[in-house]
Structure 1
Amino acid sequence: MLPTLGIDKIMKVPSSDESFKIMHHAPINMPLITEAHKHDFFMLLIVQHGSGIHSIDFENYAVTDYSVFFLAPGQAHQWDLSPDTSGYQLLYAPEFLVSGNPDTPFFKPKSIPFLKITHPEFQELENELAGIEKEVSQNLAYSKSIVQNRLLIVLSLLKRFYETNHQHSVIEKNSRLIQSFLTMLEKQYRQHSDVAFYAKTLHVTASYLNAVCKKQSGQTAGEQIRDRILLEAKRMLTLTQADIKEIAYELGFNDTSYFSRFFRKYTGQTPLAFRKRI
């Protein structure tokens, strides 16, 4: 399995609450952990000023002034930031919000994990972030409840900005059937790689599920399943020392050579060549 870091591994200073952290970096003298890794918590990286590259699940995104990056539990990432990069990091465990995590488009499977915002939008966010910092530092009665509610405001503001900037993408990804399929895929891709399983569970035919996915996202359900398996293979090849046989077995392949052919067919290189290149 992939190595997963909790909030306590990211933060060097112990705290009474390991389910939420806010860090105001000026500059962001990161990474705290130099190698690529994944988290078991949600993370918001809100950049005020700076530049560099943030790699999320092997896709590179440019870091610029007033940019926001979204990391859901399980995603792999690594960044290379300029020394003058400043901004905020919010880390929170799935259980931190007692009412449950809100319906946010940026944490859904296959969503775009990047948002460019304006200076006024950043100032709106910063007002709430300053309030969160104050409550965390004071640690008074009801501070946790106030932080939880301010975090909901931050997420709501980001949802507003995100839906305005990624309107076309959000409309496509908000198909209830596709979201149900992608949510199920996150839990079942190791055990089930056939469209028929997901279609039956969702009470539609395999051809209908393929057609709806193709129309809404540009990929059939089968292609979505394939890409999810390939993504996990890349994560394991990059972030673990597991051998190819172990990775193949973990991803539901009984034959190592078949896994290698599958990987090469869709990436253009063998698993070992990919690992060496990374």
Structure 2
Amino acid sequence: MCIKTVGLPVLTLSDFITGNSGFILLPLQEVTKQYEWIRNAHKQSFYTILFCKDGTGQLTVDQQLISLKENSVICLGPGSVNSYDFNAIRNGWMLAFSESFFSMRYNDNVLYNFDCLKYHKFCQQDLCKEEQEEWQFYLKLMNREYKSNNQDARSVLRSYMNIILSILNRINDRKGIRKNIKSEKDKKVTAFEQLVEKHFPTKRLPSFYALEMHISVNYLNRICKEKRGISSGDIIRNRIVIEAERLLLHTFLNISEISYQLGFESVSYFVTFFKKNTGYSPYNYRKHNKQ
């Protein structure tokens, strides 16, 4: 399913449909037939929701093989390395949208209230009969609006998106997957993770993020340990390691090129950093996990 490339391709919504205005809605059964390159390993710069009504599909998210079953939903945030095969799906939908599309109406942080949409994460839910009918109802409305020429179509689509994401949060609530109320500490840790996502190649010290958030380094460390079980420095280092592993597994970039892309001053420093955090040298990690 995955084919290595010289550099890991990063897909945008324009790779599917030009002039998409930050939102696309496609029949799932046509996605891998019409866009065959989606079978290959790639990163996505957008959020994705996959709804399978009939049939089965497969996707790989950061080396984890996942089955998309009948009457289930999978949500993917940007950043993970994915590949898809939906040829055995007979009925379903793929919704994809950019953060800017959603934040035109809602503020930038609203998406992070939805636990199903996280960077480098995926969320999978089986739907009961009532939930299936609810999803199909809103998807039918969304498809009609998506195909319309109404001037306010984008605004209406954003409202529908907010509804189905809220429904998914409720499902997660009922199944005990998330807490109903997020504390201020939860919000601050999430904000920190957002900043890390934007700056990790160049900013590796917790002091930078604490300054950006107008809090002390000690407080940042304390809430990270309380909410994530690790320090703020560990969160930054883990993010760098994830990116290094992706580049080693899915590209033909050499160790020096990966080191440069991740902002390391020298190859030897990158090799030492990677081995300390994974137990492997970059070369041995690539060799050990060679597909």
TM-score between both structures, scaled by the size of structure 2: 0.79
**Amino acid in structure 2 at the alignment position of 1:134:** R
CA distance in 1, matches of 2:197, 2:240: 10
Deviating more after overlay: 189-198 vs 135-144:
135-144
What SS is found at the alignment partner of 1:126?
Answer: helix
Q: Is 81-90 or 35-44 further displaced after alignment?
A: 81-90
Residue 105 (structure 1) aligned to one of 106, 115, 120: 115
The alignment-based identity, stated in percent, is 27
Alignment of 1:89-238 (within 5 A): 89-97=94-102, 98-100=104-106, 102-103=110-111, 104-109=114-119, 112-140=122-150, 142-165=152-175, 166-168=177-179, 175-238=186-249
Deviation at 1:190, TM superposition (A): 1.2
Alignment of 1:4 with 2:4, yes or no, is no
1:48 and 1:21, CA in 2 relative to 1: closer, same or farther beyond 3 A?
same
Q: Give the equivalent residue in structure 2 for 1:241.
A: 252
RMSD of the TM alignment (CA)?
Answer: 3.1
* Rounded Cα–Cα distance in structure 2 between residues aligned with 1:115 and 1:181: 27
Deviates more, 1:208-217 or 1:37-46: 208-217
- How many equivalent residue pairs? 275
Distance 1:263-1:52 versus aligned 2 partners, 3 A rule: farther
Assess, with a 3 A threshold, how the Cα gap between structure 1 residues 219 and 63 changes in structure 2: closer, same or farther: farther
User: Structure 2 vs 1, CA of residues 79 and 253 (structure 1 numbering), >3 Å: closer, same or farther?
Assistant: same
1:28/1:84 contact within 8 Å kept: no
Relative to structure 1, is the Cα distance of residues 185 and 142 closer, same or farther in structure 2, using a 3 angstrom cutoff?
closer
Unpaired runs of at least 5, structure 2:
1-6
Alpha-carbon offset, residue 124 of structure 1 = 0.6
Kept in 2, the 8 Å contact 1:173–1:179? The answer is: no
Code of the aligned partner of 1:119? K
Runs of 4+ in 1 over 6 A off after TM superposition: none
Structure 2 SS opposite 1:74:
coil
Q: Separation in 1 of the partners of 2:184 and 2:50?
A: 23
Looking at structure 1, the residues matched to 16 and 185 of structure 2 have their Cα atoms a distance apart, in angstroms, of 33
> Secondary structure at 2:24's aligned position in 1?
strand
Q: What is aligned with 1:48?
A: 53
Aligned CA distance change for structure 1 residues 47 and 243 (closer, same or farther; 3 Å): same
The 3-state SS of whatever aligns with 1:99 is coil
The equivalent of 1:67 in structure 2 is 72
SS of the aligned residue for 2:101 comes to coil
Once the two structures are superposed, residues 34-81 of structure 1 have per-residue CA deviations (whole angstroms, 9 ceiling, x without a partner) of 211112222111222444543323444443333222222333212345
With over 3 angstroms needed to count, the CA separation of the structure-2 counterparts of 1:48 and 1:268, relative to structure 1, is: farther
From the superposition, tell whether residues 52 and 130 of structure 1 become closer, same or farther in structure 2 (CA, over 3 Å).
closer
The one-character-per-residue Cα deviations of 1:100-139 (angstroms, maximum 9, x if unpaired) are 3644222234655333332321221110101111223343
2:93 corresponds to: 88
Scaled by the length of structure 1, the TM-score of the pair is 0.83
